[in-house]
Chains A and B, each alone.
Chain A
Amino acid sequence: MIRFLLNKDIVELPDYPTDLTVLQYLREYRKTTGTKEGCAAGDCGACTVVVATVAPDGNNLHYKTINACIALLSSINGKQLITVEYLATEQGLHPVQQAMADFHGSQCGFCTPGFVMSLFSLYHNQVNPSREDILHALSGNLCRCTGYRPIIDAALFACEKPKKDRFDQLAQQTIETLNSLAEKQKADLATSGLMLPKDRESLRLCIEMHPEAPLLAGGTDLSLEITQKLKSFEHIISLFEVSELKQIEIYADYIQIGAAVSLSEMSGTLLQYFPQLKDVFYRFASLPIRNQATLGGNVANASPIGDMPPVLMALGASVIADNGINERTLPLRDFFTGYRSTQLADDEWISKIEIPLLTKHAKLAAYKISKRMEDDISAVCAVFKVEVSDEGLITKLATGFGGVAATPINCPALETALVGKNWQDKAIVEIGKEILLNAFTPIDDVRASAQYRKTVLSNLWERFWLEQQQEVIFKTRVIDHA
């Protein structure tokens, strides 16, 4: 049974297709057509809806955007699903709607409900956001008509001094309802094809029962099998509610992040320890995708163009694999065995990722290069971490790259060649560039040519070196989010 709050109404669905998306549910089952389908692939944001959950303190609601087109019902189970139709009241439009209309933020209007929902989430999450915050919040919403300027203005105006809205007024009531749904849920066994194990043991049993069923984390990639390739799944095992996979633990010299932690939650923690990753996190997919996609998913997916594996590789992270009985630790640099394949056994899942913290001697940078700044897949992702002794000698170099091989990969040749050399010596720029230029044999594809990937990879080493030199005062990036 899936239970959730659709705006103000409790919905209980005993029977539904395993691979039904939230968007299909809204448009085809409920005939509520305010939420639009633009791409059915999580790329345009026309289907953006907001999911509200009870905050850990139990007194507040958390609002976050997701793409309804690639969300299965598991992602709204036990939550409040808020759609565009519910924002206006009899007293009038919601302030974000009013601003969008008054600032001429809609032309054809097809993307508008999605923008409105992203703005609604921003309205509840941030008072007086900066222009950059707004771009960040709306990075997953495409508009083909306006050129965005009026939408940015509408956002600045509406969110400058947010007043309490109906959602604030009803918050306690909503929290109580969601808590009561959670109570019911506890007693509920997953009977439908979409299985929602709550803990490690029940996850193990689900896999044992349905070894053919795919594991669903955020589902931002698996859903494309359904919406784009028209595949049908009888059983899917959702990791969404497995409590062991949702933890973030911080130790003296490392951090453990549960595999089902969303990229948004993860980046909040990681940026405290690795502020150098801001540029990559800022450009990594879009906010609704990061709200939904998980760290474990980005790693287990083993895509050569995922952005977390290069980061984790350079940081020396390890994967904790679990089969419900035994856990084992696998260094990430050995984890990928081929194109979209890993060391995970059939009955294993990633339970967490362990990331060592930086030593005081470490210099770190992560670069993402793509055709478009926001919400694009990397042509190249490059992460460098160098440790330099007090004498200025390189003691350790670690790397991680995406988009240059069949798997996320590091460059042992570079990592060993420069140890012992003087970091300030300009000669190491050319040595590093030469090694990287010939280290990999990437492919030509729709994003970039092989030659471009090689050249850029090599040039990014130069950028890294330049940026770590203290006397360098000139700009090295056209847009610097760091």
Chain B
Amino acid sequence: MRKLNTPAKLADTTQAKTALNRVNKHESADRQVSGNARYVDDMPEPSSIAHAAVGTSEVARGTISQVILDAVLASPGVIDVITSKDIPGHIDIGPVFEGDPVLADGEIKFYGQAIFAVLADTVSNARRAAKLAEVTISPLEPVFKVSDALALERFVRPSHRMLQGEVDSALQNAEQVVNGHLNIGGQEHMYLEGQVSMAIPEEEDRMTIYTSSQHPSEVQKLVAEVLDIKLHHVCVDMRRMGGGFGGKETQAAQWACLAAVLAHRNKRAVKLRLPRQQDMAVTGKRHPFENKYSVGFGADGKVTAAKIEINGDCGHSPDLSEAIVDRAMFHADNSYHLGETDIIGHRLKTDFVSHTAYRGFGGPQGMIMGEAMMDAIARRLGEDPLTIRKRNLYQDNKNQLTPYGMPIEDFFLPDMLEKLEQDCAYWQRRDQIKTFNQTSPIIKKGLALTPVKFGISFTAKHLNQAGALVHVYTDGSIQVNHGGTEMGQGLHTKIGQIAAQEFGVDLEAIEVTSTRTDKVPNTSPTAASSGTDLNGKAVQNACITIKQRLIEYFAETTQQSPENAVFIDNKLVLGKQEIGFVELVQQAYMARISLSSTGYYRTPKIFYDRETGKGRPFFYFAFGVACSEVSIDTLTGEYSVDRVDILHDVGKSINPAIDIGQIEGGFIQGMGWLTTEELKWNDQGKLISENMATYKIPAIGDTPPIFNVGLYDRPNSEDSIYHSKAVGEPPFMLAISVWCALKDAISSLSDYTIDPELHTPATPERVLNAVTAVKKDVTL
């Protein structure tokens, strides 16, 4: 008989540290700091490895008349070249709707579209060969502007409308109306680890894929489809990403598919890693938007009606744009009761790369409209913007509905806002800033405090499900697998804590393994901030199943009732009896009790009817408030963010350190989106902010010198995992306070009478232009 061993570390009698609600460092931290954390490009390569590169279009729109690949094939080290004709199965890999060919299929849809893929012995040889094709394209007139696409009614998906009440008459009857428009820039994900996949052919047509993807199940499905094989012949393994942010939700699949096709054809392992500049050109970004509003309000600044037009620049194909523009619409109210509302959302088709998921998923581009309206009303009435914001906040227990008919419940945001208002001394600083500005002719300071209300759940209802697989081994160590992917957000750390909590064991007893499609099938992407909510519950359910078996076994052997059993301190306590966890597991094994279980979860309560534009698309809302103080230089437009105070709602925090990391990181990323991160394309449709030298994400000096982040400690009233709340996306939108503070500083030049036009990103150039415009208006 096999001997069961007991590792010293899991000694039964020691007290387990409580795994939950505490600061545990990232499960990979020690490996990351020592260079031992392995990413796809770091994995040992099979001896048959060859390297792929893609050749791309230098025209934005047209039809391919000829592709001559002789020089590519003749280039040193080249093994194979493929075009769309060489794809054995589906060419289209559109994630929800069609429109994304894995390689251009006759039509060119954007500048940078992949036309062919080449395989060579080395990375350099593949990349050099990819530049040698002769491609002839008959160009067509491209459409790059949102306004042009709107005029042409060029949509990737039908428009959608949310209507509540009689908006036109309410606007007519309003005491005052302000109209405004805002152009909102997109954003490059700039995950530090670029897109990469390695495909390893297995027996016959089977394929194993290592990929940096937020959505292994979709990679599995699309690889199967391009190869024309069944899903059960494809296994996708994903241990960790070097950042995702939405950019590897759908758009990691193409590179995995190409690697798989080349691996399949050549019967050798293939790795495809995009060089940074190509990565930036060929993958979609956060959608740029061009939005408009008409808002009606009374003398007190309370909004009575709002008409909002949301125009998302989707690029050439739908990708995820249907849901992204929906989410922008769902968040145009932010935290404010807008009375009668009419929100229409258009999905414009332009001849750019297909824009895609990015932290917030359209929410930020909608939410900023709510804040734009509050600023405009405040300047019109000569009130402080915070006063107007407070007057318009939703109120708890007033039977208020959002513009899509979702009841406002458990709405404690006003309490949070008031707490931050006091803690950061908003009004004292407001006075100080006014005084400062009066005596400072060149540098002007600005201040803004803005709220966030962000809906949690995938708006595509079927994605709100998750699976897990938990194994307890005979030494008491536990392996956990689930459908979520680790991209740095600390998901695996929290999952480990959840499993440790359920079994009452030390965190060290838990190993969360790579995400694999052969362990947990049919998973959802790790997106929509849902990773812990969904997978945490699924893991908990798997643990509960195993625990139940162990309890029943122990109750039977000790002849007790199984009620009130507790797994704690590395043991099971039942009535007056207790047993060490390892001993229990070993006894259960000998008694032929299964020590492995799947777990499953689906989110309750949610629905949305697109026909009526009404429903409860979100399980709950996550809230936050941020106050930002900035300085601007009226001679150059340069600025600094001098102080930021944040109070954020993560429910009952599973791991405060990880949650604060998400809040701080999300805020800085949002700040980059609204300030220095400027995407620019030339008139040919070529991205010219195409590398890190020309596209500027925040650097270390951009972190505000005073950066206070607090958690609002209040358990989620919904039955989420341990009553915590999702945290990935909501803090991103706290950075809207920076944009409002910049506008506040500019507005000071008009003694706060003008709401300056400041499209985003608010680069120093845009700030200087706004300063100039306000100065001009004041002198007129």
Which B731-769 residues have C-beta < 8 A from chain A?
A: 763-765, 768-769
Interface residues of B in 16-39 (CB under 8 A from A): 25-26, 28-39
B389-416 near A? 1/0 per residue, CB < 8 Å? 0000000000000000000000000000
- The 8 A CB mask of B617-656 against A (1 = contact, 0 = none) is 0000000000000011101111110000000000000000
| A228 interfacial by beta-carbon distance below 8 Å | yes
- B497 at the A interface (CB under 8 A): no
Query: 0/1 per residue, A107-141, Cβ < 8 Å to B?
Result: 11111110010000000000000010011001101
| Minimal Cβ-Cβ distance residue in A for B31 | A109
Q: Which of B123, B441, B764 contacts A369 (CB 8 A)?
A: B764
- Between A and B, 29 residue pairs with Cβ closer than 8 Å are A36-B193, A41-B276, A87-B34, A100-B33, A101-B25, A101-B26, A101-B29, A101-B32, A106-B26, A106-B29, A107-B26, A107-B661, A107-B665, A108-B243, A109-B33, A110-B242, A112-B37, A113-B32, A139-B700, A146-B668, A147-B707, A148-B702, A150-B661, A230-B127, A456-B635, A456-B636, A463-B635, A474-B439, A476-B635
For A32, the chain B residues whose CB sits under 8 A away are: 35
- Asked if A186 is at the interface (CB within 8 A of a chain B CB), the reply is no
Q: Which of chain A's residues have a CB closer than 8 A to the CB of B688?
A: 445-446
Query: In the complex, which of the residues B25, B31, B191, B703 contacts A147, with contact meaning CB atoms closer than 8 Å?
Result: B703
User: Is B768 in contact with A456, judged by CB distance below 8 angstroms?
Assistant: yes
Is A151's CB within 8 Å of the partner chain B? yes
Q: Confirm or deny: B479 has a beta carbon within 8 angstroms of a beta carbon on chain A.
A: no
Which residue of A93, A379, A459, A474 is within 8 Å of B30 (Cβ)?
A93
CA distance A456 to B669 in the complex (A): 27
**Separation of A455 and B42 alpha carbons in the complex (Å):** 48
Binary contact readout B473-492 vs A (1 if CB under 8 angstroms, 0 otherwise): 00000000000000111100
Looking at chain B, what size class is its interface with the partner chain? 35 or more
Task: List 18 extra interface pairs beyond A33-B38, A142-B699, A371-B676, CB under 8 A.
Answer: A32-B35, A33-B41, A83-B35, A101-B25, A102-B25, A108-B487, A109-B32, A113-B33, A142-B190, A143-B700, A144-B697, A147-B664, A147-B666, A147-B703, A372-B696, A374-B702, A452-B769, A478-B633
Q: Which of B34, B42, B698, B702 has most chain A Cβ within 10 Å?
A: B34
Of A39, A110, A148, the residue contacting B668 (CB under 8 A) is A148
Chain B's closest residue to A87 (CB) is B34
Residues on B with C-beta less than 8 A from A111 are: 192, 242
Q: How far is the CA of A88 from the CA of B34 in the complex (A)?
A: 7
CA distance A375 to B701 in the complex (A): 10
Contact status B664-A144, CB under 8 Å: no
A40 located at the interface, meaning its Cβ lies under 8 Å from any Cβ of chain B in the complex: yes
Q: 1/0 per residue A373-397: CB within 8 Å of B?
A: 1111101000000000000000000
Partner of A478, one of B245, B443, B665, B692: B443
Interface centre among A446, A452, A463 (most CB of B within 10 A): A446
| In contact, B638 and A110 (Cβ under 8 angstroms) | no
Are A135 and B32 in touch, CB under 8 angstroms? no
Tell me if B56 is interfacial: C-beta within 8 Å of chain A. Answer: no
For residue A140, which residue of chain B has the nearest CB?
A: B699
Q: Answer whether residue A46 sits at the interface, using C-beta atoms and an 8 A cutoff.
A: yes
Which chain B residues lie closer than 8 Å to A107 at the CB level? Answer: 26, 488-490, 661, 665
Q: Could you give, for residues 236-253 of chain B, a 1 whenever the CB lies within 8 Å of some chain A CB and a 0 otherwise? A: 000011111100000000
Residues of B within 8 A of A320 (CB): none
Main DSSP-derived SS at the A contact region: loop
Are A148 and B700 within 8 A (Cβ)? yes
Check B693 against A144 for contact (C-beta < 8 Å). Answer: no
Enumerate chain A residues within 8 angstroms of B703, measured Cβ to Cβ.
Answer: 147-149, 152
Whether, in the assembled complex, B717 has its beta carbon less than 8 Å from a beta carbon of chain A, the answer is no
By the criterion CB–CB under 8 Å, are B242 and A36 in contact?
Answer: yes
- Contacts known (A104-B657, A230-B124, A446-B688); A376 close to B696, Cβ less than 8 A: yes
Q: B442's closest neighbor in chain A, by CB?
A: A476
Q: Write out the residue numbers on chain B whose beta carbons fall within 8 Å of the beta carbon of A455.
A: 768, 772
B281 to chain A, nearest CB (A): 13
Give the complex CA separation of A435 and B661 in angstroms. 50
* A447 interfacial contact with B, CB 8 Å: yes
List the 9 closest pairs (A to B, CB-CB), nearest first: A34-B35, A108-B488, A110-B242, A109-B32, A147-B668, A43-B692, A107-B488, A33-B42, A84-B35
Give bound CA distance, A35 to B34, whole Å.
10
On whether the beta carbons of A93 and B42 are closer than 8 Å, the reply is no
Main secondary structure on chain B at its contact with chain A?
loop
Interchain CB contact under 8 A, A144 and B243:
yes
B658 contacts partner chain A, Cβ-Cβ < 8 Å: yes
Known: A38-B193, A39-B276, A446-B688. A373 touches B33 (CB 8 A): no
Residue of chain B at shortest CB distance from A97 = B33
Name the A residues within 8 Å of B676 (CB-CB): 371-372
> Could you tell me the distance between the alpha carbons of A474 and B633 in the complex, rounded to whole angstroms?
12
B632, B700, B768: most-surrounded residue (chain A CB, <10 A):
B700
Question: Known contacts being A144-B190, A146-B665, A463-B442, is A374 close to B701, with CB within 8 Å?
Answer: yes
Q: Which B residues are in CB contact (< 8 Å) with A449?
A: 765
Contact B192 A110 (CB under 8 A): yes
Does chain A have a CB within 8 A of B128? Answer: yes
**A197 to B32 Cα, complex, angstroms:** 40
**With A84-B35, A372-B676 in contact, do A149 and B25 touch (Cβ < 8 Å)?**
no
A327 on the B face (CB < 8 A): no
Q: Is the CB of B34 within 8 A of A477?
A: no
Given contacts A85-B35, A147-B703, are A446 and B664 in contact (CB under 8 A)? no
Does A252 sit within 8 A of B, measured CB to CB? Answer: no
A474-B657 in contact (CB<8A) = no
B33 touches A93 (CB 8 A): yes
Task: Answer yes or no: A460 CB below 8 A from chain B CBs.
Answer: yes
Q: What residue in chain A is nearest B640 (Cβ atoms)?
A: A478
B322 sits at the interface (CB 8 A): no
CB distance from B633 to the nearest CB of A (A): 5
Complex Cα gap A31–B49 (Å) = 14
A230–B636 touching, CB < 8 Å: no
Chain A hits for B631, CB < 8 A: 475, 478
Q: Smallest CB–CB gap between B625 and chain A, Å?
A: 17
Report the Cα distance A170→B638, complex, angstroms. Answer: 47
Please tell me if A44 contacts chain B, counting CB pairs below 8 Å: yes
A373 to B698, CA, bound (A): 9
Query: Which B residues touch A459, using CB under 8 A?
Result: 635-636
**Cα of A46 to Cα of B242 in the assembled complex, Å:** 11
Which chain B residue has the least Cβ–Cβ distance from A109? B32
Instruction: Check B441–A373 contact: CB distance below 8 A.
Output: no
A389 and B332 alpha carbons, distance in the complex (Å): 62
Contact partner of B763 (CB less than 8 A), chosen from A27, A116, A371, A445, is: A371
Q: Which residues of the other chain, B, contact A445 by a CB distance below 8 angstroms? A: 688
Q: Is A443 an interface residue (CB 8 A)?
A: no
Q: How far is the CA of A355 from the CA of B131 in the complex (A)?
A: 45
Q: Quote the shortest CB–CB distance from A226 to chain B (angstroms).
A: 9
Asked if A479 lies at the interface with its beta carbon under 8 angstroms from chain B, I say yes
**The one of B128, B661, B691 that contacts A41, using a Cβ cutoff of 8 Å:** B691
Are B488 and A109 touching (Cβ within 8 A)? Answer: yes
The CA of A373 and the CA of B696, in the complex, are separated in Å by: 10
Q: Is B535 an interface residue (CB 8 A)?
A: no
Bound together, the chains give a CA A210 to CA B78 distance in angstroms of 30
Quick check: A446 and B689 within 8 Å, CB to CB? yes
Q: B702 contacts which chain A residues (CB < 8 A)?
A: 148, 372-374
Quick check: B191 and A108 within 8 Å, CB to CB?
A: yes
Task: Find chain B residues with CB under 8 A from A463 CB.
Answer: 442, 635-636
A431 within 8 A of B: no
Per-position contact with B for A35-56: 1 when CB-CB < 8 Å, else 0?
Answer: 1111111011010000000000
* B554 contacts A by Cβ under 8 Å: no
